[in-house]
Structures are given as C-alpha cells and as structure tokens.
Amino acid sequence: MAHPYAHDTHGHGPHDPNDASDPHSHPTAATYVKVGVFLTALTVAEVWAYYIPSFVASHFFIPTLLILSAVKFATVVLFYMHLKYDHRLFRALFTGPFLVAAVSLIGLMFLFGKLAVRLGLLT
C-alpha cells in the first residue's frame, strides 16, 4: 500500500496530518506570539467592559462578552490547536460533539427559562 502522503523528489506533496514534525504544517513562532498578544488584548477588553457600569447595564454587554469569548475560543482552536491546518476528520471529531453540546446547552437554557423568544403572541 502506497504511503497516503507521498512527496515528490523536491519534498512537495500533500501535507501529512500525522507528521507533527513537519514545520510547514504549523504557523511560525512569530504568528504564535501575535496570536498570544491578540488573545491578551481581547481578555483586557472583556475585563474593561466589566468595569463600565453604563455598558454593563446596556443590552450590548452580554452579547459583546459572548462574541469576544467566542473569538478567543475559535482563535485558540484554529491556531494553537492547528485545526485550521489539520485534517478534516480532526475538525469533524471536534466540531461534531461541540455542536451537539452547544445545541444541548441552548435547548436547556430555553427549557429552564433562561432564554426566551418573544413571538408577539402574548399581550
């Protein structure tokens, strides 16, 4: 059986998702540092928002925090966990259970009255 990720004589060919030693399969150290700075900036923004009373009282506070948190989550998963560069089966193994869990959480929030949709049916 041929190696599934055979390279030509110049070393060109499909990236082997098993080969964690392949330096071309991951971002550079400089990219990792930039991602770290970005994550720190988002964390500072989150905590800063927490200390602005008028913003905390507004309707934008919770959505803003959830969006910032989701961006941080996605950034770590895509860059630090290399899911952006990795095989689609790994992506499926993570996003499948994650989506099931997220939908379950949202469903439970509706079930226990933590979330509600205003349909305009009640007066």
Binding residues for another protein, rule: CB under 8 A, are 1-9, 13, 17-23, 26, 28-29, 32-33, 35-36, 39-40, 43, 46-47, 49-50, 56, 61-62, 65-66, 68-69, 72-73, 76-77, 80-82, 87, 89-90, 93-94, 96-98, 100-102, 104-105, 108-109, 112, 114
CB of 74 to another protein, least distance (A): 9
Nearer to another protein, 21 or 123 (CB): 21
Give the separation between CA 94 and CA 83, rounded to whole angstroms: 9
DSSP class of 23: G
Give the separation between CA 47 and CA 52, rounded to whole angstroms: 9
CB of 59 to another protein, least distance (A): 13
CB of 121 to another protein, least distance (A): 25
Nearer to another protein, 6 or 119 (CB): 6
Phi/psi of residue 60, nearest 5 degrees: -85, -15
| Nearest to 102, CA basis, from 82, 76, 74, 75 | 74
CB of 117 to another protein, least distance (A): 17
Q: For residue 19, what are the contacts with CB-CB under 8 A and spacing of at least 6?
A: 5, 25
